[in-house]
Every structure is written in C-alpha cells, then in structure tokens.
Structure 1
C-alpha cells in the first residue's frame, strides 16, 4: 500500500515539476494543438507510471527521459494520422455534390425557365428582383415603382403559379423562395 502511495506521490511531484515544461514542448511539436499536446502529456505521464525504473535512473532529472518519451509519442501519433485516410464528417459528405446533380440541375433550370416564361410580365418582374437579384421587398417596390404590398402579393401568386406549372417540382417551389441556383440560371439566360 505504501508503494502505491509513493508511486502516486512521485508521479504527482513529477507532473508538478516537469508538466508545464513538457506541455510547452509538446505544444510546439503539435503545432499549437492544445488538445493533442494535453493527450501526449497524459500519455507520457502514463508511460512514466508504467516504468518505475525510470525514477531510479542514474541521471539527476527525469526531464530528458520525459521529453524523449513525449517526442517519440508525438512522432508516432503523427505517423499514425498520416498513415490512415483523413476522416470525413457527415456534414462534408452531405454538402458534396454528386455527379448526377449537374445533369439534374440543368434539367431543373430548363423546367424553371419554361415555367417562368408562362408568368405575366408583372409577376416575372417581381420574381426577378426578389429571388434572382436578391433585392428586398422595399427595394423591389422602389425599382418597379409599385407599393410593397403589391410586391408581396405578386411574389406569392407567382410562386403559386410556378408550383402548379412545375409538376414534380412542388418541393422545389419552396427552394425558389431561397433563390435556388436552378431558378437563378433559368432567368439569367
């Protein structure tokens, strides 16, 4: 029981005496990544605990031994990260377009272009200003010289007509209100 207490006390003294310097050293090896440096520090101290013979070495300080172990752990961790492929999160995969998206968006752009052509010039003008040029309702009203309420009602009815004229794209009519690229490219040409 006393050896465990002595080991714990020796390890606590080791961490107190050399921990800050070792952490600073490991922080440099990890290019400022605090989390990795903390992990390496803990792993180095675990190695010291696993090798009590290091405490009885012929040297005056444990610091060189700790720095050597920490450096080797940092090198091993870096090699390990470089050896395996980079991890890709779900968010990256969801935002990465697949090859089919290009053809699908081209077809959608043609469909939207045709549907926008069926709108009256007044409705089309409101949609162009709001959704394709990114103007607010107030700015659209100023550009077109009509009241803001008229801009709102025309955009509402224009989107409703588009959702009717785009069978199979009813879910896309809501994306029109967010300025989808298919709709933008449809009126741009």
Structure 2
C-alpha cells in the first residue's frame, strides 16, 4: 500500500513536470516544429514526442550543461531530422505533398529571438502590448490602430512611445533610434 502511494506521488510529480514544461516551452516548440515540418499536425506529433523524451530523460532537464529550452529545441530538431531520414529510406506509401518540404537548416537562433521578444512583450501592460501588436504586427496606421482599439490617435502614439521605451529598457538599449509612429 505504501509502495503504491509512492508510485502515485511520483506519477503526479512527473505529470506536473511535463505540464510545466509544456506551459513554458510548448508554444515555442510547436512554432519551431511547424516551421521545420511545414505541417501543423506533424509538428504536434513532434512536440508530443519531444515531451515524451523529456519525461523519459528527466536528468537532462536538471543538467547544468545548458538550458532546458535549448535541449528541447535540439530534441525537436533531431526528431524531425529522423522522420525525414526514415521517409527517404522507405518508398512513400502515399504521394508526398509540396506542403511538407525537407528540413532546410537550423532555425534555433530565430526561435530564441522570437522567444525573447515574446517574453519582453508579455511584461508590457495589455494596453501597450495591444498598440504594438496593431502597429507593428498588423501593420496598421495610427488611425487604424486607434479605431481598432477604440482610443484617440494621440493615445496610440503615446502608448507606442512608452511601450517601445519599456522594450528598450528590457533589452538594455540606451540610445537606439526607434522608428517614430506617424499618422
């Protein structure tokens, strides 16, 4: 009975660790795997396999050799590479589509940069984040952003100014020129 309780506690701890890994790194892993595979469904399978490997090798998650995120991205890339190698050795059962191109290269730097920017944006207030999303990600003008957000154009300009200033502080940039938002 005591042994059964210990196993249950260990299983709950393992599940909590994998859930924590997924919450922290899941979006990044999925974006990376989707970029490598070109197929969202295949990418989801790759992320699932990555987390299974993390579960099987918990020592890699506490290793002092590098970051957990880096290890997970490497495992993801290796899984995708293995899938393409397996596919190239066997004759295809179904004709391959042009939607699943071969792995071109390692995009880890771009993924790390994206993770860094997303983390910095998450620290901004919702109002500042919304303004930057409208102007820089949706390529809206000040007037379009003001209409979308339901605020005056002057508010869009000032929020974008303060949001960019906060991002510069986050990244330790002191005197960089950031493009001014114009009407």
- Please identify which structure carries the higher helix content: 1
Structure whose alpha-carbon radius of gyration is higher = 1
* TM-score normalised by the chain length of structure 1: 0.44
* TM-score normalised by the chain length of structure 2: 0.45
